[in-house]
């Protein structure tokens, strides 16, 4: 199971379905079997839909021209069943040289073994400039296994006509302003915000803003944290915001598809990746030019609200026969030239905060980049997928929204998270 945001070519779409000093001269951890100058055929796994054919073709041509005699065999992988395929490859003696993996999957794959430790390369890769919410999942117990590749996160998508109708000329920058404006929008039969009761990634952002988390490390084990005062405060804000719309309390963004709801023209706002606007326009072309974006507001105007940062990392298997060259591939893809190309081609947030300006002119993506500066990740446990499988967070949210005692509901959910994270997979 994977849990990540996957923006599509030239736009972003939401996907919720569910990571090294190389054993080589590139890392100093072992025998590489090659050098960066030695020709080789490298196998690179890229996930379906992550990159356009045009981007991959340009990268392949450029890399081969600058590494004479080296060829790239870029193989597109399907998301269905990828977890077992990657785990098997990491355990084999004939693994690919470079793999793209979902950023929240790094801990799972690192725990299974076979992923190179690239800690010694972080400085060379300008890791101090990486987006925290994308970089953090790749670091396990102080070692960097996953190299951030691209990111995506949620913003507020809004109906400009409904904002103008309510007399709102400037999008809110604080939570308090957001509540005030949403209250104004929730009049005359309009829906101030369409916020389903189980949008748990949105809740996570509010919890992070309060200084809390979904789970915390407790020695060598994990402990669910939805029963803390910080999580309770985050849920209280969610409940206040959700009450200003007509969203169902017992479903998520997919039931019904929130883009379809927004497309009807009566909902003023949704929380979505910017690419959600493409689905809205497909359902209702009349909304062209009437859709705007702003970062999820924070508690104060100087900092946007916290967001979950989805996206992908690049890893190098220990079994790669060409680890120095594999590192050259990773370094190129994570570097300024190809990060800039990728951001413009795919409307992704690049892996470095200093590159956010390359999205200027793309309203949705540039707003997303602003929010990415306060990006976070789900708890960095190899068992996090087990939490999402039954998702006690969703159950907790519905219980609180329908009148259950938040303290009792929080304890029950935290116990379920604790059990899932500490059960051997």
Band the pLDDT of 16: cuts 50, 70, 90: very low
Indicate whether 179 pLDDT > 70: yes
- Asked if residue 199 and residue 167 are part of one domain, the reply reads yes
pLDDT tens for each residue of 316-338: 999 999 999 999 999 999 999 99
Indicate whether 363 pLDDT > 50: yes
Q: Mean pLDDT throughout 24-49? A: 64
Using alpha carbons, select from 10, 35, 100 the residue that is nearest to residue 342: 10
Residue 324's pLDDT is what? Answer: 95
pTM for this structure? 0.85
- Asked if residue 267 and residue 394 are part of one domain, the reply reads yes
Indicate whether 391 pLDDT > 80: yes
Q: Mean pLDDT throughout 369-393? A: 93
- Asked if residue 401 and residue 265 are part of one domain, the reply reads yes
Band the pLDDT of 188: cuts 50, 70, 90: confident
- Asked if residue 131 and residue 6 are part of one domain, the reply reads yes
Residue 4's pLDDT is what? Answer: 43
pLDDT tens for each residue of 232-269: 999 999 999 999 999 999 999 999 999 999 999 999 99
- Asked if residue 360 and residue 260 are part of one domain, the reply reads no
- Asked if residue 140 and residue 8 are part of one domain, the reply reads yes
Q: Mean pLDDT throughout 136-155? A: 95
Residue 279's pLDDT is what? Answer: 92
Using alpha carbons, select from 46, 40, 27, 33 the residue that is nearest to residue 98: 46
Q: Mean pLDDT throughout 8-33? A: 34
Residue 305's pLDDT is what? Answer: 98
- Asked if residue 416 and residue 318 are part of one domain, the reply reads no
Give the domain range for residue 32: 2-153+309-376
Indicate whether 120 pLDDT > 50: yes
- Asked if residue 302 and residue 337 are part of one domain, the reply reads no
Residue 112's pLDDT is what? Answer: 87
Query: What share of the chain in percent tops pLDDT 90?
Result: 84
- Asked if residue 187 and residue 120 are part of one domain, the reply reads no
- Asked if residue 262 and residue 399 are part of one domain, the reply reads yes
190: CATH: 3.40.190.10
Apex 229 CA angle, 224 and 235, nearest 5: 80
User: How high is the mean pLDDT of the chain?
Assistant: 90
Indicate whether 359 pLDDT > 50: yes
Q: Which of 120 and 385 is assigned the larger pLDDT?
A: 120
Give me the phi and psi of 71, to 5 degrees please: -125, 150
Residue 27's pLDDT is what? Answer: 38
pLDDT tens for each residue of 77-110: 998 889 899 999 999 999 999 999 999 899 999 9
Residue 396's pLDDT is what? Answer: 98
- Asked if residue 249 and residue 356 are part of one domain, the reply reads no
- Asked if residue 255 and residue 126 are part of one domain, the reply reads no
What's the structural domain count of the chain? Answer: 2
């Amino acid at each position: 199971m994977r849990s990540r945001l996957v923006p599509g070519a030239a736009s972003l779409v939401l996907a919720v379905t569910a990571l090294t000093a190389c054993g080589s001269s590139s890392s100093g951890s072992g025998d590489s079997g090659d050098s960066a100058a030695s020709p080789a055929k490298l196998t690179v796994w890229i996930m379906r839909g992550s990159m356009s054919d045009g981007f991959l073709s340009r990268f392949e041509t450029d890399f081969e021209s600058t590494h004479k005699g080296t060829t790239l065999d870029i193989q597109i992988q399907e998301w269905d069943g990828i977890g077992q395929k990657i785990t098997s490859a990491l355990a084999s003696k004939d693994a690919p040289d470079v793999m793209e993996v979902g950023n929240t999957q790094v801990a799972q794959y690192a725990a299974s073994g076979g992923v190179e430790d690239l800690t010694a390369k972080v400085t060379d890769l300008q890791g101090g400039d990486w987006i925290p919410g994308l970089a953090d999942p790749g670091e396990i117990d102080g070692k960097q296994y996953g190299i951030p590749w691209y990111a995506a996160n949620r913003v507020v998508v809004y109906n400009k006509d409904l904002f103008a109708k309510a007399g709102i000329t400037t999008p809110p920058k604080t939570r308090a302003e957001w509540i005030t404006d949403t209250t104004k929008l929730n009049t005359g039969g309009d829906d101030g915000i369409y916020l389903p009761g189980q949008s748990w990634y949105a809740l996570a952002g509010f919890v992070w803003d309060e200084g809390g988390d979904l789970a915390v490390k407790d020695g060598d084990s994990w402990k669910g944290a939805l029963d803390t005062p910080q999580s309770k405060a985050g849920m209280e804000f969610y409940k206040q915001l959700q009450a200003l719309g007509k969203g169902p309390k017992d479903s998520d963004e997919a039931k019904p598809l929130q883009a379809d709801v927004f497309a009807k023209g009566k909902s003023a706002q949704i929380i979505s990746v910017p690419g959600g606007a493409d689905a809205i326009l497909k359902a209702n072309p009349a909304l062209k030019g009437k859709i705007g974006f702003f970062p999820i507001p924070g508690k104060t105007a100087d900092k946007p609200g916290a967001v979950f940062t989805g996206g992908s990392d690049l890893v190098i298997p220990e079994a790669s026969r060409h680890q120095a060259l594999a590192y050259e591939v990773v370094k190129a893809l994570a570097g300024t030239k190809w990060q800039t190309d990728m951001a413009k081609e795919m409307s992704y947030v690049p892996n470095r905060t200093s590159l956010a300006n390359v999205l200027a002119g793309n309203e949705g993506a540039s707003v997303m980049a602003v929010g990415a500066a306060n990006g976070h990740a789900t708890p960095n446990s190899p068992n996090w997928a087990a939490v999402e499988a039954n998702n006690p967070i969703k159950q907790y949210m519905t219980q609180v929204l329908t009148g259950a005692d938040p303290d009792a509901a929080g304890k029950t959910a935290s116990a379920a998270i604790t059990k899932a994270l500490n059960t051997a997979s």
